[in-house]
Structure 1
């Protein structure tokens, strides 16, 4: 469920690296843990696993064993620890097996001063390595579908929230400080009915946000554009499904953008509930006759991004315009000109409504704003203007105005907003890379920003992660003592691919491999943070459908490790209707916690174990662009 999720650029994730010399001899073999990328590696990758032990060891050997039980590669484990992980695991040794090139399924065994065995992993060509994870990410978006056009899939989804077709619009409510609890005695109706049927649930709950949907939809279209004929067969339909809902949320005739559907919590008086107050399958809402659940279930409220006809928060305008314009590019390339022109029209009319002269403070994202606090908008406007320029070029329209705008917003971003990397809150990497392409297609006109400046900022973003990874025990480029480490880390894969394509610089290739490794199990917890990828992934997500329905929400990406301070109040009680998971409330990953970072696989753990559109979308695009580099 939405929470305050921000990215702290500064700060150290995990414990600092230090060279830890080995003792002269080990008195007995020590049981160790071998962490590896459970999805696998490309034949040409620099390949590294990690041996975690509770005390320093020496004279450790490793064997790579194939699926038939044959040893195909042997060597010595590096004799110098990358550092202390926590008070229980005081040494982490790298295992380098780059010499393994043949495709197949393998595992690593260590012997000598330490013993242990890794999960299975593959060596595979790019198509085989990336195909399943990308397709599974799209499948998660299918799980998130709302309305009548659901796809049953593995979770047996059924139509839900059909009353969204005739929803009422309400005034923005008042909230308790730092809370989603409403202080008003009642919601004030100001309009409707409006059709907000369909769309995607944002996360483990059933709220729908224009802000996150636009990011997710833009990512799906960008992925389709990048992969072309190699895209999953489900991708085009899913991208257009999300766009259809955005089309409903933007009423061009009345110059009105709707912000969200649903409320998180009810009011402090307890007279009505919110979405987060009940745990159920979504189809149950249509038959919920409890008067207290009216706004939570059967008649969900709709809220405005701005008053009708008034200028709209530019972060919203930029990303929604970008989603429409990316759809126009994809449809123009497919020969569907009529559809492309319609999408282009939606993008241009919304783009003109951006409140760039006086952006609201705070920027509008969700209700309450603390669900998704954002403080940059120039990246989104650069994104929107850039994609409109590319769409204009694809449709034979004049792109010069949008190119000039995009350049201006890029200059503003570089002067005021640098510090983050690609994720829900910073879309500049994709905007920069596409602006480079749009300017080149226009003959590189003088618009006040150079290709070199855009490439340099892409490099700055990659280097931010690479510098951090060089210091980290497991080469993590993200910050795993704050929210959104998985989304940011997949975002680093996106940005490295965009930078390499723009510059030809392959010096960060190994860094990208390290990030993929960390995400898919080469981390202290030994967890692949994308459900269904690898052999050990979250089993108890905070996701109502995944928790209650049969089957799994395969392809979901969870938040990942988070700051221990977020657990100071414990995990809380189980809500009525929750399937207790894990049984008995066990916490097998507690032994891998540090003084400031913790991962908990528990249905109550919104802090680490809730998936969302933006997290999974970041994975889809990051993996797709890495695959594209290999084509």
Structure 2
């Protein structure tokens, strides 16, 4: 039977009270971070007006927050009246429940650790889904796969296709879902590495191996994908078919495909293949080829610093698969033998968009032109062909018709086009704005439906509605992160909350999460049904329209329906083994959820860190750090460091040198290697050196070390960074600077870095620093065509003066950065007003120091 919450306030007649209950409060059973959107839903089977609600401390039973209920939102599903109860303004950590009218919510936490460990917990299900060696069972299965069909080789040719993940509670395996799952795991590792732990070995058994468990799991998927793409011109789409469904069993060896223990492996032919009595509607190879390509390309980047040989192999495979996709546009649908049910994917341009962005990033990572073969332009062309994923805003769709359920290509393309190196390219900025509008439009299409009900539910109730929900919440999260626009933040949280209990049934849709919650206990799974094994972390399919449920083949509930009073003519959900439509866990849905959980955990920790940082008293004598890099010196001393950087432009060199000489001020000059090697600048640089200014490195090729939006996402390998550094320092020596005069202080290119790259530089005995945020002197590179980001010299000088007048310690210890030259489109050069600025600072009592002197005096 279903496990219901048990509270201290329950009485011996609680079941009698429950039977008479007419109103309920639905909450996210995982809880809420302190600064997150926090909204519960009150729902009633009676037409009752709700005036207020209160938040109660569960330990003391005292009311700590009270608020009006807001507007009535009417009927939804089984309920006659509903309200949204918003307590977002309450931030105190603790354990609480909500009370409204005669209803009480389950107990929940408000804590920034509310989602901690949840992503790792869901990895348990991924490990349990492993084919080949299964670490949960400590046994192997499907070790004879498989024999080929539809390929250029003779039918029944054997290939090694062991490994990978079973798709759901059946044991089929699909390239499309596996590649998508692998991509989500890799990107979760890339974007949120600090969220994950290392408790398992590569084979999934207990034992740390120095690799995050999420990357071990991604590698399991990668290894299988490589087997499904054994040659440049060989790609396979599917392992096994619906003959698998002839009976539930714990995974072992299957002997009902007609060739002993081998299972069929379906070749990506780009042509229609078996679909029960019919044929599927395959039209090309691109949908599968592009999924191969994007997974391999992202993995190549991730493994650059872990396994260079493997990374190089993946890069070649990624490019080969990309070329297959270009040569064979269209979709590869799955095959079936006995039934009409298949993954009827109808779109492929989203896959090619994602592959194109990743291929572009691969080229850039190799030091070759990022627009080789113009793949970035190709990605944008594909993006325009499908502005919004077609299910967004729709009422229904075929099974896996629009897959993946979120356009990862849009996300990666916006990220790529947001890089500072593209900021001066009007065309690319326009392309980025276009893709952002696509993302926003998709959210708005769903919002137009969702805004009409208390659960903010706009996702259609088709098969795997929970997968769509996790993907849509991720799209809302990405939109917020990429644009800073929080318009849909409550909508994002509502979709996340739905998965963990803020839904008509009041249940989490993830097995065992939270541990003390109302979660699935009787899913459509052989592990639970036959052996009573837990399937921890598995995301079940989710609710479906009642009309779909009634039309499905072979569904019979095995037990009385615990949620009978919450079913409706609109939608049903059953925690019953007999309902494969709503209660079957899926591997790819769980992988998508792992990314979302990692994002939510990282976001909560980031908000907590920011809040703590704002409350911490400053030690004025200690250097100020950001991501382990010096950004300000001793705030107890009236000292300033003037720093000048250059990469492409050096039109201000003579002016700067003359001003510093006139004002008898020493500066710190940090140029790229290509700047030092530029013959046009050599004479002026040598003059600066002769005047005893500090000379240092700003990298060699001005690499971008970290993603602009996801700072913990490193874009360079350690080897490439250190090689670039060495080349830049050699360029300084080649100019005639003595080794003893070349400082080991270093300012990162673009003044952008993360802890990982700062750590690599520190290991190489470099002292890494950057400008002090808030002074805006570094904005002197901007020009009018950049729009809102443009800053005039007058604005910059005024802001420096304002900083001096309003900050507690003024400009003490500040690093002011000025560019040695700027784009010709900027006519208003800050370096022409350098003398004026120096005079003002002297009048304010500031002393000018070289960077090394200012930081070493602390």
TM tier relative to shorter chain? 0.7 to 0.9
1:352 matched to 2:323: yes
Question: What is the CA–CA distance in structure 1 between the aligned matches of 2:393 and 2:184, rounded to whole Å?
Answer: 15
State the SS of the aligned residue for 1:373.
Answer: coil
Matched, 1:203 2:172: no
Match of 2:135 among 113, 127, 151: 151
1:119 is aligned to 106
Whether the aligned pair in 2 keeps the contact of 1:312 and 1:353 (CA below 8 Å) is no
Picking from 281, 298, 304, the partner of 2:261 is 298
- Aligned equivalent of 2:383, options 376, 400, 410: 410
Counterpart CA distance in 1 for 2:555 and 2:306 is: 54
Unaligned 5+ residue runs, structure 2? 1-19, 199-212, 272-281, 395-399, 607-858
How far apart, in 1, do the equivalents of 2:549 and 2:422 lie? 54
User: Does 2:122 match 1:137?
Assistant: yes
- 1:585 corresponds to which of 559, 573, 581: 559
341, 354, 359: which one aligns with 1:383: 354
Determine the structure 2 residue equivalent to 1:319. Answer: 291
Aligned to 1:170: 149
Aligned residues of 2:52 and 2:69 also touching (Cα < 8 A) = no
Corresponding residue of 2:407:
429
Q: Report deviation, 1:494.
A: 1.2
SS at match of 1:194: coil
**Structure of larger gyration radius:** 2
Worse overlay, 195-204 or 403-412: 403-412
* Structure 2 partner of 1:561: 543
State whether structure 2 residue 335 is matched by structure 1 residue 367.
yes
Rounded Cα–Cα distance in structure 2 between residues aligned with 1:491 and 1:428: 5
* Helix, strand or coil at the partner of 1:607: coil
1:216 matches 2:181: yes
1:36 corresponds to 2:18: no
> Is 1:338 matched with 2:309?
yes
| CA displacement at 1:458 relative to structure 2 | 1.2
3-state SS of the aligned residue for 1:560?
Answer: coil
The alignment partner of 1:95 has SS state of: strand
Q: Distance in 2 between matches of 1:311 and 1:245?
A: 25
C-alpha change, 1:428 and 1:488, in structure 2 (3 Å) is closer
CA contact (8 A) 1:210 1:258 kept: yes
Per the TM alignment, residue 62 of structure 1 is displaced from its structure 2 partner at its CA by 4.0
Give the aligned partner of residue 75 of structure 2. Answer: 84
Structure 1 length-normalised TM: 0.80
Contact 1:493 1:623 in 2 (8 A): no
What aligned pairs does 1:544-559 form with structure 2 within 5 A after superposition? 544-559=526-541
Partner of residue 505 from structure 1, selected from 477, 485, 489 = 485
Shift of 1:473: 2.7
Using the TM superposition, give the Cα deviation of residue 469 of structure 1 relative to its aligned residue in structure 2, in angstroms: 2.3
- Partner SS for 2:158: strand
- Structure 1 residue 598: Cα displacement: 1.0
Which range moved further: 516-525 or 66-75?
66-75
Verify: 1:108 aligned to 2:120, yes or no.
no
Residues 276 and 39 (structure 1 numbering): CA distance in 2 closer, same or farther, change over 3 Å? Answer: same
CA drift of 1:238 comes to: 0.2
- The one of 223, 227, 238 aligned to 1:244: 223
Q: CA deviation at 1:474?
A: 1.4
Cα 1:96–1:498, aligned 2, differ >3 Å: closer, same or farther? Answer: closer
Q: 3-state DSSP class of the match of 2:116? A: helix
8 Å contact 1:85–1:594 — kept in the other structure?
Answer: no
Determine the C-alpha separation between the residues in 2 that align with 1:297 and 1:81. Answer: 62
Identify the residue that residue 249 of structure 2 maps to in structure 1.
280
Q: Matches of 2:86 and 2:418 in 1, distance apart?
A: 41
Cα distance, 1:214 vs structure 2: 0.6
Query: Judging changes above 3 Å, is the alpha-carbon distance between structure 1 residues 246 and 472 closer, same or farther for their aligned structure 2 residues?
Result: same
- Aligned residues of 1:311 and 1:353 also touching (Cα < 8 A): no
Residue 88 of structure 2 corresponds to which residue in structure 1?
98
- How many angstroms does 1:235 deviate by? 0.2
5+ residue gaps in structure 1?
1-28, 173-187, 265-273, 575-581
Structure 1 residues 311 and 520: CA distance shift in structure 2, 3 A: closer
Q: Does structure 2 retain, via aligned residues, the 8 Å contact 1:571–1:604?
A: no
**SS state at 1:109 partner:** strand
Q: Does 1:542 align with 2:524?
A: yes
Matches within 5 A, 1:576-615: 585-615=559-589
1:205–1:380 Cα change, 3 Å = same
- 1:438 paired with 2:422, answer no
TM-superposed deviation, 1:311: 11
Corresponding position of 2:672: none
Q: Verify: 1:399 aligned to 2:381, yes or no.
A: no
Q: What whole-Å deviation, never above 9, does each CA across 1:519-543 have from its counterpart, x for those lacking one? A: 2111111111112223111111112
Are 2:495 and 1:515 equivalent residues in the alignment? yes
Aligned to 1:329: 301
Report the RMSD for the aligned CA atoms in angstroms: 2.9
1:500 aligned counterpart, secondary structure: helix
* Equivalent-residue separation in structure 1 for 2:138 and 2:156 (angstroms): 31
Q: 1:420 is matched with which residue? A: 392
- Structure 1 96/427 Cα, relative in aligned 2: closer, same or farther at 3 Å? closer
Matched, 1:476 2:448: no
Task: For residue 155 of structure 2, give the secondary structure of its aligned residue in structure 1.
Answer: strand
Contact 1:325/1:388 (<8 A) preserved: yes
TM-score, L = length of structure 2: 0.60
Rounded to whole Å, the distance in 2 between the matches of 1:311 and 1:275 is 26
The 1:145–1:386 alpha-carbon spacing in structure 2 relative to 1, beyond 3 Å, is same
- Are the counterparts in 2 of residues 85 and 92 from structure 1 also a CA contact under 8 Å? yes
CA contact (8 A) 2:50 2:69 kept: no
**Structure 1 position 571, deviation (Å):** 7.4
Equivalent-residue separation in structure 1 for 2:405 and 2:48 (angstroms): 45
Per chain length, whose mean CA-contact separation is higher, i.e. which structure has more relative contact order (CA < 8 Å, sep 6+)? 1
Task: Give the 3-state SS of the residue equivalent to 2:494 in structure 1.
Answer: helix
Asked if 2 retains the 8 angstrom alpha-carbon contact of 1:421 and 1:491, the reply is: no
Deviations 1:189-226 (A, max 9, x none): 71421000110001110001111101111111111111
Residues 1:454 and 2:435 are matched in the alignment? yes
CA-CA distance at 1:104 after TM superposition: 2.4
Secondary structure class of the residue paired with 1:322: helix
| Alpha-carbon distance change, 344 to 211 in structure 1, aligned in 2, over 3 angstroms | same
Distance between the aligned counterparts of 2:299 and 2:480, measured in 1? Answer: 25
CA distance in 1, matches of 2:377, 2:50: 62
- How far does residue 325 in structure 1 lie from its aligned partner after superposition? 0.8
Shift of residue 46 of structure 1? 3.1
Deviation at 1:412, TM superposition (A): 2.4
Which whole-Å CA distance do the structure 2 matches of 1:397 and 1:455 have between them?
27
- Secondary structure in 1 matching 2:141: coil
Q: Give, in whole Å, the separation in 1 of the partners of 2:389 and 2:33.
A: 36
Shift of residue 499 of structure 1? 1.3
